[in-house]
Amino acid sequence: MTATIFDIERSSFVDGPGIRTTVFFKGCNLRCAWCHNPESQKREPELAFFESRCTHCGKCREKCPNHLEQCTLCGECARYCPTDARKIYGKEMSTDEVMDEILRDRAFYENSGGGVTFSGGECMLQIDFLEEILKKCKESGIHTAVDTAGHVPYEYFERILPYTDLFLYDVKAFDTEVHKQYVGVGNERILENLAKLLSAGAPIWIRIPTIPTVNADENEMQRIKAFLDEHGTTEKVELLPYHTMGEGKCLALGKELVTFPTPDAETMQKLRAIFA
pLDDT (tens digit, 9 = 90+) per residue, 205-223? 999 999 999 999 999 999 9
CA atoms within 13 A of residue 38's CA, in its CB half-sphere: 19
Read off φ and ψ for residue 261, nearest 5 degrees: -65, 155
Please answer whether residues 253 and 39 qualify as being in contact, where contact means their C-beta atoms are separated by less than 8 angstroms. Answer: yes
List pLDDT tens digits, range 168-207: 999 999 999 999 999 999 999 999 999 999 999 999 999 9
Please answer whether residues 196 and 231 qualify as being in contact, where contact means their C-beta atoms are separated by less than 8 angstroms. Answer: no
Instruction: Over range 128-144, report the average pLDDT.
Output: 97
The answer on pLDDT for 110 being more than 90 is yes
For 18-32, 216-230, 242-256, which range has the lowest pLDDT when averaged over its residues?
242-256
CA atoms within 13 A of residue 237's CA, in its CB half-sphere: 21
Q: How confident is the model at residue 257 (pLDDT cuts 50, 70, 90)?
A: confident
Please answer whether residues 12 and 21 qualify as being in contact, where contact means their C-beta atoms are separated by less than 8 angstroms. Answer: yes
pLDDT score, position 40: 95
Size of the chain, expressed as the number of residues it contains: 276
pLDDT score, position 252: 93
Taking all residues of the chain, what is their mean pLDDT, rounded to a whole number? 95
Instruction: Over range 91-96, report the average pLDDT.
Output: 96
List pLDDT tens digits, range 236-250: 999 999 998 889 899
**Whole-prediction pTM:** 0.94
What is the rounded distance in angstroms from the CA atom of residue 110 to the CA atom of residue 219?
Answer: 41
Q: What is the DSSP letter of 87?
A: E
What is the rounded distance in angstroms from the CA atom of residue 121 to the CA atom of residue 62?
Answer: 33
The answer on pLDDT for 262 being more than 90 is yes
The answer on pLDDT for 276 being more than 90 is no
Could you tell me the CA-to-CA distances from 275 to 147, 265, 270 in Å, in that order?
Answer: 20, 16, 10
The answer on pLDDT for 98 being more than 90 is yes
What is the rounded distance in angstroms from the CA atom of residue 107 to the CA atom of residue 223?
Answer: 41
Please answer whether residues 137 and 102 qualify as being in contact, where contact means their C-beta atoms are separated by less than 8 angstroms. Answer: yes
Q: How confident is the model at residue 106 (pLDDT cuts 50, 70, 90)?
A: very high
Q: Which domains are assigned to the chain?
A: 2-44+91-275 (3.20.20.70), 48-88 (3.30.70)
pLDDT score, position 156: 98
What is the rounded distance in angstroms from the CA atom of residue 241 to the CA atom of residue 238?
Answer: 10
Q: How confident is the model at residue 232 (pLDDT cuts 50, 70, 90)?
A: confident
What is the rounded distance in angstroms from the CA atom of residue 170 to the CA atom of residue 21?
Answer: 19
Is cis: bond before 121, omega within 30 of 0?
Answer: yes
Please answer whether residues 115 and 13 qualify as being in contact, where contact means their C-beta atoms are separated by less than 8 angstroms. Answer: no
Percent of the chain with pLDDT over 70: 100
